[in-house]
Amino acid sequence: MTITIGVLALQGDVREHRTALESAGARTVGVRRPEELAQVDGLVLPGGESTTIDKLLRIFELDEPLRARIAEGLPVYGSCAGMILLADRILGGTADQRTIGGLDVTVRRNAFGRQVDSFETDLAVAGLPGDERPVHAVFIRAPWVEDVGPGVEVLARIPDASTPGIPHAAAGRIVAVQQGPLLATSFHPEISGDARVHERFVQIAKG
């Protein structure tokens, strides 16, 4: 069964996400309008700047239709800024920042620091095809999850701070979660060449 996964095409690594999803067997479309959102079987919210994406969702009149579809059970995957948009609660956001919500987590925005604090590491991520192999994870001004609700499954945490390149404060922080059809990662799998996170999301969208 071929399904159609939309990638929110307002900002971020749209092309890279579409490439990864297509390698996982999905058909993809860019989503900028409510009528495009209405046609997809799942949606990816890419990285970028979460406050800017929030404003663009309102300008393009996608915020309320997206909330409605999530409430109806639309599978959604959010990476980096997309994780922030899916979170029910934000720490470190701007005064007027809103989220789409649906994911019962508290996310700290820019938790790992500024652009210059970006880093890469290998992570064990539960539930992926070949999950005995780590995922090479790229963190760019990334959030982390401070707490999760009872229905949220934690899929990955940052390794011990003794690992080279890992910020001390990041050790043990939650960086990948799933709640029903909602999946989120702090990192950017679309730029690592490892499509297994996207493969998992395609399977979620197939139900």
Catalytic residue among 16, 36, 72, 188: 188
Residue 36 and residue 6 in contact, taking contact as beta carbons nearer than 8 Å: yes
Q: Does 168 participate in catalysis according to the annotation?
A: no
Cα(116)–Cα(33) distance, integer angstroms: 34
Q: Does 132 participate in catalysis according to the annotation?
A: no
Residue 12 buriedness (CB in 10 A; 0-12 / 13-18 / 19+)? buried
Pairing of strands 153-157, 76-79: unpaired
Beta bridge partners of 103: 87
DSSP at 162: T
Cα(101)–Cα(119) distance, integer angstroms: 27
Catalytic residue among 35, 61, 146, 190: 190
Q: Does 188 participate in catalysis according to the annotation?
A: yes
Catalytic residue among 80, 168, 198, 199: 80
CA neighbor of 179 nearest in space, from 98, 101, 109, 122: 101
Cα(192)–Cα(11) distance, integer angstroms: 19
Catalogue the active-site residues: 80, 188, 190
